[in-house]
Amino acid sequence: MLDETLNSWLRDLLGRHAAVAGTVHVVQDGVLAIKAAHNIPPKVQEVTAAIPIGKGMAGLAWQHDKPIQTCNLKDDNSGAVKPGAKAVDARAAVALPVHDRSGAVRAVVGLAWMDERVLDDATLDAIARDAAALP
């Protein structure tokens, strides 16, 4: 079940970074549980309701504790982008880990854009700083 407070926060984050779609998955009971989604098809929300560590972009961001990005969701063949993510009407995407006070990953925030792009370190840092304010 999606959390309206997190949905509102996510929409604001997406707006600040000119992204068109996104998710918030929170570490819960040993998986990433979806808590917010914007412009994500219902079927994709269903498929990504619980993501194990290491699966897809969000699971890899959690496992490796670093941003995972693709410049084109539709054409990516790295193995990081799963078929459900390819159903999102966007191109570039990133999954960023968000940490708790002890430094452990507490959530993964995903953003997607309509165009192909590679996010540079400064852009990733700016998004990560914003994502750190996750309620």
Residues 6 or more apart whose Cβ sits within 8 Å of residue 101? none
Q: Which residues of 102-122 are buried (b: 16+ CB within 10 A; e: fewer)?
A: eeebbbbbbbbbeeebebeee
Give the orientation angle of helix 4-16 with respect to helix 121-131, to 10 degrees. Answer: 150
pTM, full prediction: 0.88
The owner of tokens 């699966």 is 55
- List, for residues 64-100, the tens digit of each pLDDT value: 999 999 855 555 555 555 455 545 556 789 999 999 9
Residue 132 in contact with residue 15, Cβ under 8 Å?
Answer: no
- List, for residues 20-31, the tens digit of each pLDDT value: 999 999 999 999
Which pLDDT belongs to residue 116? Answer: 86
Question: Domain 4-131 sits in which CATH superfamily?
Answer: GAF domain (3.30.450.40)
